[in-house]
C-alpha cells in the first residue's frame, strides 16, 4: 500500500500532469556509488550487506560506502571480476547511503536495507538498478509521481529568468507557485496515507521549515510510533521543540557559536544596517556555487552597512576552514561542529542548504533566500 494511495489523490485534484500508474510496476530503483547516506528505522545495530555487479568498471577500482550525515566511511573494497561486496553497520534498519569511486567521478545515493544489490554501469551510477530495498522502491515511486511537476517547475524557472516583460514574468511566477503548491499537497497527502513509510518521515524532515511548525506538528502526529523514533523523526522532534517560527516580518532568534578562531560570536552583537544570516556547509554544492555571488555582493555593499554571518552545518573543522579559505569568504563564519544538527539551524528550522535570512537593524527579518541578482537588487534599494 505504501505510496500507492497517490492514485486516489491525483484523481481528486487537478495537478499539472497525468500519471500512467501501470508503468509503476516497471520502475527500476535508481541510486549508486558515492557516499552512502544514513538514515533510519531503529536503535538496534543493523548490518548491511551491499552486493553488486558492474559494467565498464575496471577490476581493481576502489568503491567506498558511507553514511550521509555525518559522512562516515563504513567500508571499502576493490571491484573483482566485475563484482563487489560492501558491509556496514548502523543503528538503523534502513539507511540512506552513498557509494562512490575514488575520485567521485561515479557516485550514487540510495536507500539501503539489510541485503541490497546494485547493478552499476560506469559513468551512469545514478541510473543503477537497485533491488532488495523496499524503501528505495517507495522513493522511486514518489520520484516518478512528482517528476512531471518538477519538470514543469524547472521549465517555468528557466522562462522566468529570461522573460523581460513584467506582466508575463508575474504570470509565470504565479504558475510556478501553483506548481510548488501542487507538489506540496501531493507530499502532504502521501505522508498522511503512509504513516509507516520511512519516506514519509524523510520528506517531512526535509520540509519542516518550508511547511511551518503547525503543519509539521500535524503531519508528525500522523506518523507511526516506529517512524517517530527514526533519525528523521527525531530531527522533526528537535525542530518542533526549538523552532521559533522564523518568518518574514518577525523578529530574529538570537544564538551564539564559535568562529574560526574559537571566539564566541553572538548574532545580536553584530552591528550593521542589514545582516544576511547565511546557513551553508562545506559539503553543499549549491552553497559553494553561490559563494562567489555572495562575495561579490558583500564587497559591493559592506561599506554601506551590510554584513554577513555564515553558519556552517559541518562536523569537520578542517573541511569547514578549507572551504572558507578556498572560497575566500571575508565575513564572520561560525559553526558548532554538529553537522546538520547545528543548534542555530535547528532554531531557525533549516531543512535545506543554502538558506538565508535578511535582517534589518531593528532585528526584523525582511527577506528570505535572496540570492544572486535578487539579493543585489534588494540591497541596492535598501542601501542606495
Domain containing residue 112: CATH number: 2.60.40.1110
- Mean of the pLDDT values across residues 133-137? 93
- 189 in the same domain as 74: no
- 207 in the same domain as 288: no
- Mean of the pLDDT values across residues 194-200? 94
Does the pLDDT of residue 21 top 90, yes or no?
no
- 142 in the same domain as 82: no
Confidence of residue 69 (pLDDT cuts 50, 70, 90): low
CA 275 – CA 308 distance, rounded (Å): 5
What pLDDT, on a 0 to 100 scale, did the predictor assign at position 37?
A: 39
In a domain, 156, yes or no: yes
- 218 in the same domain as 106: no
CA 195 – CA 167 distance, rounded (Å): 43
At 292, phi and psi to the nearest 5? -60, -35
In a domain, 4, yes or no: no
CA 30 – CA 245 distance, rounded (Å): 36
- 114 in the same domain as 54: yes
- Mean of the pLDDT values across residues 358-376? 94
Residues 79 and 71: beta-carbon distance below 8 Å: no
CA 62 – CA 79 distance, rounded (Å): 6
In a domain, 291, yes or no: yes
Q: What is the CATH number of the domain that holds 299?
A: 3.40.30.10
User: Domain containing 71: what range?
Assistant: 46-132
Q: Which of 102, 132, 162 represents a domain boundary (last residue)? A: 132
In a domain, 17, yes or no: no
Confidence of residue 40 (pLDDT cuts 50, 70, 90): very low
What pLDDT, on a 0 to 100 scale, did the predictor assign at position 15?
A: 33
Confidence of residue 27 (pLDDT cuts 50, 70, 90): very low
Q: Which of 111, 132, 153 represents a domain boundary (last residue)? A: 132
- 213 in the same domain as 318: no
Confidence of residue 87 (pLDDT cuts 50, 70, 90): very high
Confidence of residue 223 (pLDDT cuts 50, 70, 90): very high
The dihedral through the CA atoms of 137, 139, 140, 142 has a sign that is positive
- 122 in the same domain as 183: no
In a domain, 18, yes or no: no
Least confident piece of the model among 229-233, 248-252, 339-343? 339-343
Least confident piece of the model among 20-24, 172-176, 247-251? 20-24
Residues 368 and 352: beta-carbon distance below 8 Å: no
Residues 6+ apart with CB under 8 A from 156: 172, 175, 176, 179
Mean pLDDT over the full length of the chain: 85
CA 328 – CA 292 distance, rounded (Å): 9
What percentage of residues in the chain have a pLDDT greater than 70? 87
Phi-psi region of 361 (alpha: psi -120 to 50; beta: other; left: phi over 0): alpha
Does the pLDDT of residue 32 top 70, yes or no?
no
In a domain, 227, yes or no: yes
Does the pLDDT of residue 111 top 90, yes or no?
yes
- 149 in the same domain as 102: no
What pLDDT, on a 0 to 100 scale, did the predictor assign at position 33?
A: 32
- 378 in the same domain as 260: yes
- 3-state SS, one letter per residue, for the chain: CCCCCHHHHHHHCCCCCCCCHHHHHHCCCCCCCCCCCCCCCCCCCEEEEEEEEEECCCCCCEEEEEECCCCCEEEEEECECCEEEEEEEECCCCEEEEEEECCCCCEEEEEECCEEEEEEECCCHHHCEEECCHHHHHHHHHHHHHHHHHHHHHHHHHHHHHCCCHHHHHHHHHHHHHHHHHHHHHHHHHHHHCCCCHHHHHHHHHCHHHHHHHHHHHHHHHCCHHHHCCHHHHHHHHHHHHCCCCCCCCECCCCEEEECCCCEEEHHHCCCCEEEEEEECCCCHHHHHHHHHHHHHHHHHHHHCEEEEEEECCCCHHHHHHHHHHHCCCCEEECCCCHHHCHHHHHCCCCCCCEEEEEECCCEEEEECCCHHHHHHHHHHHCC
- 169 in the same domain as 73: no
* Each residue's pLDDT tens digit, 200-221: 999 999 888 778 788 999 999 9
Does the pLDDT of residue 20 top 50, yes or no?
no
Confidence of residue 7 (pLDDT cuts 50, 70, 90): very low
Q: Exposed, middle or buried by CB within 10 Å (0-12, 13-18, 19+), for 203? A: buried
CA 5 – CA 316 distance, rounded (Å): 41
In a domain, 247, yes or no: no
In a domain, 292, yes or no: yes
- 196 in the same domain as 182: yes
CA 313 – CA 350 distance, rounded (Å): 10
- Mean of the pLDDT values across residues 110-124? 94
Total Cβ atoms within 10 A of residue 121: 17
What pLDDT, on a 0 to 100 scale, did the predictor assign at position 120?
A: 96
Q: Which of 84, 103, 132 represents a domain boundary (last residue)? A: 132
Query: What total number of domains does the chain contain?
Result: 3
- 238 in the same domain as 306: no
The predicted model scores a pTM of 0.58
Amino acid at each position: 500500500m505504501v505510496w500507492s494511495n497517490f492514485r486516489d489523490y491525483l484523481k481528486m485534484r487537478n495537478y499539472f500532469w497525468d500519471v500512467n500508474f501501470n508503468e509503476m510496476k516497471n520502475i527500476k530503483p535508481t541510486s549508486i556509488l558515492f557516499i552512502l547516506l544514513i538514515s533510519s528505522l531503529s536503535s538496534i545495530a543493523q548490518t548491511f550487506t551491499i552486493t553488486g555487479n558492474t559494467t565498464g568498471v575496471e577490476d581493481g577500482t576502489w568503491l567506498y560506502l558511507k553514511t550521509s550525515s555525518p559522512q562516515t566511511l563504513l567500508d571499502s573494497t576493490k571491484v573483482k571480476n566485475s563484482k563487489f561486496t560492501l558491509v556496514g553497520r548502523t543503528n538503523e534498519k534502513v539507511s540512506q547511503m552513498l557509494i562512490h569511486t575514488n575520485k567521485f567521478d561515479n557516485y550514487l545515493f540510495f536507500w539501503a536495507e539489510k541485503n541490497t544489490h546494485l547493478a552499476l554501469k560506469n559513468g551512469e551510477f545514478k541510473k543503477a538498478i537497485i533491488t532488495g530495498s523496499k524503501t528505495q522502491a517507495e522513493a522511486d515511486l514518489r520520484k516518478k509521481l512528482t517528476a512531471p511537476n518538477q519538470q514543469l517547475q524547472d521549465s517555468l524557472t528557466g522562462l522566468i529568468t529570461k522573460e523581460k516583460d513584467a506582466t508575463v514574468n508575474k504570470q509565470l511566477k504565479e504558475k510556478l507557485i501553483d506548481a510548488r503548491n501542487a507538489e506540496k499537497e501531493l507530499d502532504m497527502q502521501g505522508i498522511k496515507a503512509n504513516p509507516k513509510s520511512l519516506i514519509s518521515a524523510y520528506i517531512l524532515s526535509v520540509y519542516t521549515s518550508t511547511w511551518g511548525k503547525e503543519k509539521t506538528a500535524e503531519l508528525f502526529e500522523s506518523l507511526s510510533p516506529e517512524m517517530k523514533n527514526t533519525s528523521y523523526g527525531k530531527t522533526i522532534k528537535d525542530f518542533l521543540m526549538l523552532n521559533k517560527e522564523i518568518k518574514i516580518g518577525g523578529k530574529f532568534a538570537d544564538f551564539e557559536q564559535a568562529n574560526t578562531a574559537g571566539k564566541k560570536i553572538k548574532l545580536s552583537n553584530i552591528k550593521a544596517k542589514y545582516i544576511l544570516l547565511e546557513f551553508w556547509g562545506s559539503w553543499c554544492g549549491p552553497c559553494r556555487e553561490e559563494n562567489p555571488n555572495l562575495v561579490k555582493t558583500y564587497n559591493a555593499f559592506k561599506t554601506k552597512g551590510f554584513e554577513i554571518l555564515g553558519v556552517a552545518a559541518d562536523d569537520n573543522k578542517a573541511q569547514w576552514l578549507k572551504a572558507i579559505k578556498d572560497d575566500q569568504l571575508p565575513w564572520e563564519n561560525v559553526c558548532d561542529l554538529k553537522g546538520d544538527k547545528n543548534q542555530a539551524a535547528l532554531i531557525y528550522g533549516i531543512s535545506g542548504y543554502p538558506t538565508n535570512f535578511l535582517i534589518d537593524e531593528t532585528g526584523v527579518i525582511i527577506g528570505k533566500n535572496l540570492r544572486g541578482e535578487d539579493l543585489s537588487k534588494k540591497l541596492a534599494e535598501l542601501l542606495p
